Amino acid sequence: MLCQNCQKRVANVQVTQVINNTKNVIYLCEQCAREEGKVIIGSPFSVNDFFSGMIGIPVRPSVAEQQLVCDKCGMSYEEFKKVGKLGCENCYEVYGDKLAPILRRLHGNLQYHGKVPKKVYETVKVSKEIDTLKEQLDKAVKCEEYEKAAELRDKIRALENSAS
């Protein structure tokens, strides 16, 4: 297909405009698209830059970030931001304080709890709930909230009896 503007070169750019629910499609060659200024040929930033912006990593690195380098694999923090993957397990320790907010935003938690098989899901769910209630019970006792502690104790006993 030839360019609809110059009628000389092959059209390899499709410009689609929707105005008042009316769709207009124009096929242009790269040169005419550049001249019209409607289209920027080539990406002004990489896909990794786009995703790093989405997860909240600043675009301009500070001097401290530029100096962060993993002593085991040699990956710099700058490389991590470009690639989006860490080089080794030691990178978690080297970049730990910078990774924590990113991981919390992406996964909702910093600790991986793993998958649980369907057959044992209820048992594991109950034991996790009991552990959570025991932590709350300890806090309630330390804060001298004895009524709340008694309620939590009763809930723990009920869950332990139902699990048996």
The one-letter code for the residue type at 119 is K
* pLDDT, tens digit, 9 for 90 and up, residues 122-161: 888 888 899 999 999 999 999 999 999 999 999 999 998 8
Cα(44)–Cα(27) distance, integer angstroms: 22
**What is the three-class DSSP state of 97?**
helix
Same domain? For 96 and 52 the reply is yes
Domain-embedded: residue 113 = no
- Find the range with the poorest average confidence among 17-26, 88-97, 98-107: 98-107
Domain-embedded: residue 125 = yes
Domain-embedded: residue 112 = no
Domain count along the chain: 3
Same domain? For 92 and 128 the reply is no
- Burial per residue of 134-151, b for 16 or more beta-carbon CB atoms within 10 angstroms, e otherwise: eebbeebeeeeeeeebee
Same domain? For 130 and 157 the reply is yes
Domain-embedded: residue 123 = yes
**What is the three-class DSSP state of 100?**
helix
Cα(55)–Cα(71) distance, integer angstroms: 25
Same domain? For 29 and 51 the reply is no
Same domain? For 29 and 77 the reply is no
* pLDDT, tens digit, 9 for 90 and up, residues 14-67: 888 888 888 888 888 888 888 876 555 555 555 555 555 555 555 555 555 557
Same domain? For 35 and 78 the reply is no
| Structural domain boundaries enclosing 141 | 118-163
Tell me 164's DSSP state: -
Domain-embedded: residue 57 = yes
